[in-house]
Structure 1
Amino acid sequence: MTRPPRRRVGLPLRAVLPNAVTALGLCAGLSGIRFAIAGWWELAVAMVLLAGVLDGLDGRIARMVRGQSRFGAELDSLADAISFGVSPALILYLWSLSALPRFGWAAALMFAVFCALRLARFNANIDVTEQPHKSAGFLTGVPAPAGAGLALLPMFLWFWSGETLLRSPFAVAPWTALVALLMVSSLATYSWGSLRLRRNIRFEALAVVVVFGAAAVSAPWHTASGLCIIYLLTVPFSIASYNRVRRLRAAGQSGAQSGAAAPTPPAA
């Protein structure tokens, strides 16, 4: 009598590597809080940026080794909620918002909770087939890593300018609340993973990457500030692009329906 094959349970070994990268990103986000408590602001912000880099790597590593799993997706969302929601909120509170204990803490809470709500909405829509933004190559709202970077924009500017107004809670609190609203909004934003370069501009794109790398090494906070401002400027264009795609889809559907409803001419 042959025994039935044993059913394998647990995570496959190939899923360990991307999950380990996700865990490292979570450690980086939590370390940002630790450095903020000590008053080491640049290190605190650098840890959040490092968490963003690791967040971009874990998904690619998982696809490379075919280690995607539901466990990894849930772990990634939990790590993002802490690294890009809780950590930036506490860093901003310790850096500026604590001067307005009530309103500053409300803005910090708003950012952290709205980041978690965005990630929960993303997880709830994983199995939904009808997603107009995703099918058109767009995201819904500002993604969590980009939201963390935008929220920390006053700190980026303060690092290289020293302008005291940038640290004022009367400026930081409304900005933090605005970024939180952008994360949970229904605005269509560009999905950089869906962008495809033309063959005739690949060399120029490589040159831009080299220039960006050199700028990030020589002037990291200037570069981070510029990237945030550029991203903000792309939002109106992404909204206009999605509206154009939606109009084309609507025109195509109406044309197909009118064609289907047209009477068939009688045979000769």
Structure 2
Amino acid sequence: MVPNAVTALALCSGLTGVRFAVDSEWEKALAAIIIAGVLDGMDGRIARLLRAQSKFGAELDSLSDNVAFGTAPALILFLWSLQHAPKFGWVAALALAVCCALRLARFNARIDATEQPHKSAGFNTGVPAPAGAGLAFLPVFLWLVTGSVWFQAWYVVMPWVLFVALLMISSVPTYSWSSVRIRSGWRLFALAGIALLGAALLTAPWHVLLAITVVYLGMIPFSLASYARVKQRRATALGRGSAGGNGHASEARAGRAATSPEARP
């Protein structure tokens, strides 16, 4: 009950962002999507703590993510900038919403798959929906920080939104928070860093969110390199295992040949 209530709150928060965007209250619209992201990060952990995971909760979570991080950001960006595009502004907004839905559908289809190379190595496949919404809002963060109307121009926003939409449905390996393990000696420093980050968000939210978005974007090449190293190690281990298996098989065949009637003196 509690995790599903949190998920429903995330959905409502995302839709409320659209309501603020209709009234051109852009900061409140972004804040509503950010709150939806925080709630989305909480519901799964609450469900695991309470041992209340269910198929219903998983489906509700996917629907909430689609609305809060696909449909709502697409509408906000359309009202903020893309509506001024001559022809294809709405198509770009649709691309973000559709690609978010496709990503979530792919995730649900693979949830019971036995072979998931990215997940088993601690990576996501493509950019997750909440991170995709954050990346899509990068021009809005820049606009709020600098005040430059250039970042609101549709010919700047449109290609960026299409790029983020492609990242969401791509097979690019990206770092997963679930794979982060903090050593016991660093946990106090991590807690202090989280506290300082929270204080910075309250003091200068758009500057901090801009910095987080840029850092996340800059980490994608490193995640590609990290996963390439993981693939190389797996291929090396598989090759050694195959070679060892072939060697044992050859020895077994030789032993059988030595004990066969034709091989005896």
- Shorter-chain TM-score: what band? over 0.9
Distance apart, 1:101 and its partner CA:
4.8
Distance apart, 1:193 and its partner CA:
1.3
Tell me how far apart the structure 1 counterparts of residues 153 and 179 of structure 2 sit (CA, whole Å): 38
Partner of residue 11, structure 1: none
Alpha-carbon RMSD across the aligned residues, in angstroms, is 1.3
Q: Say if 2:54 is the partner of 1:74.
A: no
Distance apart, 1:235 and its partner CA:
0.4
One-letter amino acid of the structure 2 residue matched with residue 136 of structure 1:
A
Partner of residue 58, structure 1: 43
One-letter amino acid of the structure 2 residue matched with residue 264 of structure 1:
E
Partner of residue 6, structure 2: 21
Tell me how far apart the structure 1 counterparts of residues 4 and 87 of structure 2 sit (CA, whole Å): 37
When the two structures are superposed, what TM-score results if normalisation uses the length of structure 2? 0.93
SS in 2 for 1:108: helix
Q: Say if 2:118 is the partner of 1:164.
A: no
Partner of residue 220, structure 1: 205
Selected match of 1:264 from 251, 259, 262: 251
Selected match of 2:135 from 147, 150, 156: 150
Partner of residue 10, structure 1: none
List per-residue Cα deviations over 1:179-238 (Å, max 9, x = no partner).
Answer: 000000000000011110122322222222122111101000000000000000110011
Tell me how far apart the structure 1 counterparts of residues 157 and 150 of structure 2 sit (CA, whole Å): 9
Selected match of 1:41 from 1, 5, 26: 26
SS in 2 for 1:139: strand
One-letter amino acid of the structure 1 residue matched with residue 143 of structure 2:
W
Partner of residue 70, structure 2: 85
What is the aligned residue count?
253
Higher helix share: 2
Tell me how far apart the structure 1 counterparts of residues 98 and 149 of structure 2 sit (CA, whole Å): 28
Q: Say if 2:122 is the partner of 1:137.
A: yes
1:19 to 1:62, Cα distance in 2 relative to 1, 3 A = same
| Consecutive unaligned residues in structure 2, runs of 5 or more | 256-265
How do 1:90-239 residues align onto structure 2 when only pairs under 5 Å count? 90-239=75-224
Q: Which has the larger radius of gyration?
A: 2
Partner of residue 4, structure 1: none
1:249 to 1:165, Cα distance in 2 relative to 1, 3 A = same
Tell me how far apart the structure 1 counterparts of residues 217 and 196 of structure 2 sit (CA, whole Å): 21
One-letter amino acid of the structure 2 residue matched with residue 110 of structure 1:
A
Tell me how far apart the structure 2 counterparts of residues 241 and 216 of structure 1 sit (CA, whole Å): 30
Tell me how far apart the structure 1 counterparts of residues 141 and 135 of structure 2 sit (CA, whole Å): 9
The list of structure 1 runs, each at least 4 consecutive aligned residues, that deviate by more than 3 angstroms after superposition, is none
Q: Percent identity?
A: 57
One-letter amino acid of the structure 1 residue matched with residue 118 of structure 2:
H
Tell me how far apart the structure 2 counterparts of residues 40 and 183 of structure 1 sit (CA, whole Å): 27
Tell me how far apart the structure 1 counterparts of residues 87 and 43 of structure 2 sit (CA, whole Å): 37
SS in 2 for 1:196: coil
Partner of residue 240, structure 1: 225
Tell me how far apart the structure 1 counterparts of residues 198 and 22 of structure 2 sit (CA, whole Å): 30
